[in-house]
Structure 1
């Protein structure tokens, strides 16, 4: 995960009819993600906000 993705842990995923999903945006705060997802939902489609933070694995 890149540094840019690390500082934007809130992701908006769009669920597609074929069963796949795609990350359409990554934001820093939950409030921003919820607001942006509500705007996306106006156009139709199913969008979900998820916390997508992945910790780096360190080898000892």
Structure 2
């Protein structure tokens, strides 16, 4: 894990079939992650995205 990733605990992920997921972005604040999530939902309406908190990296 890089230094910049360590201070970005909020992660936006895209849910895929068969319990897979792809990390779309890492953010310092929940509100930044939420704004990115809302934009993604408008751009890719059929996909499922979630915001998760990764406490091990804090």
Using the size of structure 2 for normalisation, the TM-score is 0.82
RMSD, matched Cα: 1.7
Q: In the comparison of the two structures, how many residue pairs are matched?
A: 56
Q: 1 or 2, which has the higher helix percentage?
A: 2
Task: Tell me which protein shows more strand as a share of its residues.
Answer: 2
Task: Structure 1: give runs of 5+ residues left out of the alignment.
Answer: none
Which contiguous aligned blocks of 4+ residues in structure 1 show a shift greater than 6 angstroms?
A: none
Q: Whose radius of gyration is greater, 1 or 2?
A: 1
TM-score (structure 1 length as normaliser): 0.80
Q: Which runs of 5+ in 2 are unaligned?
A: none
Q: Could you say which structure has the greater relative contact order, defined with CA pairs below 8 angstroms and 6 or more residues apart?
A: 2
